[in-house]
Chains A and B, each alone.
Chain A
Amino acid sequence: MPKLKVDGVELEVPAGATVLQACELAGKEIPRFCYHERLSIAGNCRMCLVEVKPGPPKPQASCALPASEGQEIRTDSEMVKKAREGVMEFLLINHPLDCPICDQGGECDLQDQSVAYGRGASRYHENKRAVTEKYMGPLIATTMTRCIHCTRCVRFSEEVAGVDEIGALYRGENMQISTYLEKAAKHELSANVIDLCPVGALTSKPYAFEARPWELKKTLSIDVSDALGSNTRIDSRGREALRILPRVNDDVNEEWLSDRGRYMVDGLTRRRLDKPWLRRDGKLVAASWAEAFDAVAKINPGSAVAVIAGDLVDCETMFAAKKLAGALGSTLLEGRQTGLAYDCSNLAAVNFNSTLAGIEEADAILIVGSMVRDEAPLLNTRLRKAVKRGAKVWIVGPEWDPTYPATFLGADLAVLGDLPAELTDVFGKATKPAIIVGGAGLAKGGIAAGLAFAAEFNLIREGWNGFNVIHMAASRMGGLMLGYAQKGGIADLIAAKPKMVISLGADEVDYTAFAGSMIVHIGHHGDKAAHVADVILPAAAFTEKDGTYVNTEGRVQLAEKAVFAPGDAREDWTILRAMADALHVSVGFDSFEQLRAAMVAEVPALGTEGLADYGPLPAAPAGVKPEGVIAGYPIKDRYLTNAIARSSPTLQRCSAELIHGETFAEAAE
């Protein structure tokens, strides 16, 4: 705990802190470009210069200088001011003055810091350097002349994403950032370099020239593209959500966001259901709300109702639908659309108990049937960190590239009954061992096998719970908490032959099994369910309603409404409330507040933001013999996993180009 002085104020900083961190602790702003809390220290922009005594009589780069006992640091001296002005002037020598046509304008570190720390005018009258554009794929637009060589993008790809594909070629003034042979950046977190870029060298291609940051309304939201519940900010203008950016939450997404979650936004204005539709003589025809509710009333299902929740819906919608079904006398609720039927009697057994931040501390990890990079991209960065700290990873399932060293144990679950000696050895000695059961594992009875494994290696101990399940749907944990699970899964609903099936944006269901049922689709996109629905009631997407989401670790989070739903579309709960009137039943709420209050009264955990407590894990069922071969992972196309993503031209292009290898001619600029 070194004690030092910053601008004359004495303070104590944690051991291992840098001078820059010490200055921040003292409340001093240190300008920087290359330094980033979550990346390694490069020390190449020189913007963070401060005066440090004892030391050489010249400014020091504070980001790379360890704080030590008795240092006297000045951030306000004449030397520091001159040093910053000098560095800024050098950085601007080769930076074009194209702020008016640069997408970074208004949220540009270089712009802000040159105003704050620059000298105000240029003395440079020579030609500026020009650098050719580099192709980096469908998401990243490049204007490499603007690059100031901070190498944040290079470090992000290498350290966080674990995919070495961006590099700094050549040297000195000729240094250029590029991917190898200008191939597209291919990994699932590639667009985060756009946020990291302190200048306008890497900007978002789909968002190019859309808006200026000061025009945008910022709304706090939750990502629904996977079950991690990444914290996001929706930037909207007028009635349109224009972009989604990650928000810092160290417990969930740190400050990253998957490409899927980021570019789903382009799907929100396309293929929308903006008026009710009815199927007449096999064809969908547009209708009014009154006609639509008449049609629903005409179904008159009695208690033969089933509700299927889609992957993107919030808890309030599911609760409203549950109430409606309950008022009609039905408890046929299911959210696991693809037919999974794992036991949900104890939610602790289907939860990510180590927590997303906690898994970083694990020192032995067994992954059962999960292609983590597709199912939970940001969990993979956590696992990467764990491996960097020395964790050993084994994976049961077909091989994929985890970006860190891992041992594949084959695709046959039977291996869990016959573990290699090396694994048992490491798990026996580990202090924080963990198992992660993913989508493909859940389908093959992975939970029972996982619980047996947890018991065998004592995965639950003081201050540590190493039993984890990864879900892939943002609605899953909330749905399970609300009882959207039948013993036999969706097969129970099929067996009950309901007269009416209410689909809450359930686009992944195989509706051929419900041939005898009337399908009422409450959804926002004209996707798979709309093709088979008999009545379509247009609803709001996640950006268009307030909602509660529970992520895979049982974290309750609230998302806010950013924009209004298009056309005649309404928020889901109002549709369900009106349906209750059409069917002449009472659901017991007339406003969103009443709905939420009723929901919290029934499931109190949904009322408090933060981790829900599911109690202790159940004992492993006796006599489980894990078996079955994992033939493949549930996500076939990581860019097109839900209705919104499938409607997004950006993600369609990603899928075509990055997964299916199609080539696109670049438009001349």
Chain B
Amino acid sequence: MAARHAEPDSPELRARWGSFAWTEANAAKAKEIVARYPAGRQRSAVMPLLDLAQRQVGAVENTQGWLPLPVMEFVARELDMPVIRVLEVATFYTMYNIQPVGRFHVQVCGTTPCQLRGSDDIMAACKAKGMKKGHTTADGLWTLTEVECMGNCSSAPMVQINDDNYEDLTAESVTHVLDELAAGRQPKTGTQLPGRHTVEPIGGPTTLVAMVGENHDYRGEW
């Protein structure tokens, strides 16, 4: 994981985001989220509210969204907590973007199972589209990040683009996914293997085969 840095404070940042406030819909949502926690424990809502704020920023910018410092300060004010505590949370969890991102945030998993299943090709395919690790492309369309395990090892390799996972990728299929996204269409999410539904074993079960049709008691065979 590359070292993360919060976008530095600047007058431009203040001018752009200083007046951040919830939209009407999000205000209602934020109220509902805070109400989930006992009175006086409203600080517990910091993570969902940061997510909500990130999404609102994303909706404004037409990107995945990120958290400028003034927005974190807004969340701190909303929850009546010290802003340093909000910053701690936002910098700890990588799902909060603390720097601007592009329209699509492509997070390529590079951990061992994905790497063994060819994540290097996936990365190369992304780079062929002009992406550079840790950077946003000039047209603002892509941000490429290499991440650690996303828990999709049985359908490796995978990428996460904004809220969706694309699994069982090859260089071709990831290129197709990226092309579709760039063209404004929504490609199929989840596994990209034809015939595979989720993460069931490819080519039929290899273990517990006797249980496929009906229940079977294996205990006698141990």
Contacts and interface: CB of A to CB of B under 8 A. Distances in A.
Contact of A167 (B3, B4, B88): B88
A181 interface: yes
A169 interface: yes
A214 interface: no
24 contacts: A164-B81, A164-B82, A164-B84, A165-B82, A165-B84, A166-B84, A167-B85, A167-B87, A167-B88, A169-B6, A169-B87, A169-B91, A169-B92, A170-B3, A170-B91, A170-B92, A171-B92, A174-B3, A179-B84, A180-B82, A180-B83, A180-B84, A181-B9, A181-B69
Interface string B1-18: 001101001000000000
A174 B4 contact: yes
A524 B195 CA distance: 91
A168 interface: yes
A179 B4 CA distance: 17
Interface residues of A, number: 12
Contacts of A166: 84
Interface in A158-177: 164-171, 174
A168 B88 contact: yes
B84 A171 contact: no
Contacts of B81: 164
A167 B84 CA distance: 6
Contacts of B9: 181
Interface string A170-194: 1100100001110000000000000
Interface range on chain B: under 10, 10 to 19, 20 to 34, or 35 or more? 10 to 19
Nearest to B6: A169
Interface in B1-55: 3-4, 6, 9
Interface in A232-255: none
Interface in B59-92: 69, 81-85, 87-88, 91-92
Nearest to A174: B3
Contacts of B88: 167-169
- Of residues B83, B84, B85, B88, which shows the largest number of chain A Cβ atoms within 10 Å of its Cβ? B84
A174 B69 CA distance: 19
Given A168-B88, A171-B91, 18 more contacts: A165-B82, A166-B84, A167-B84, A167-B87, A167-B88, A169-B6, A169-B87, A169-B91, A169-B92, A170-B3, A170-B4, A170-B91, A171-B92, A174-B4, A180-B82, A180-B83, A180-B84, A181-B69
B145 to A, nearest CB: 15
Contacts of A179: 84
A169 B83 CA distance: 12
Contacts of B84: 164-167, 179-180
B109 to A, nearest CB: 18
B85 A164 contact: yes
Nearest to A165: B84
A174 B2 CA distance: 9
B46 to A, nearest CB: 13
Contacts of A168: 88
Of B6, B69, B81, B88, most buried by chain A (CB within 10 Å of CB) is B88
B189 to A, nearest CB: 28
Q: Return the 8 tightest CB-CB contacts between A and B, nearest first.
A: A164-B82, A167-B84, A180-B84, A169-B91, A167-B88, A171-B92, A170-B91, A174-B3
A174 B88 CA distance: 12
Nearest to B73: A180
A171 B4 CA distance: 9
A171 B91 CA distance: 7
A162 to B, nearest CB: 11
B80 to A, nearest CB: 12
Contacts of A170: 3-4, 91-92
A166 B84 CA distance: 7
Interface in A102-140: none
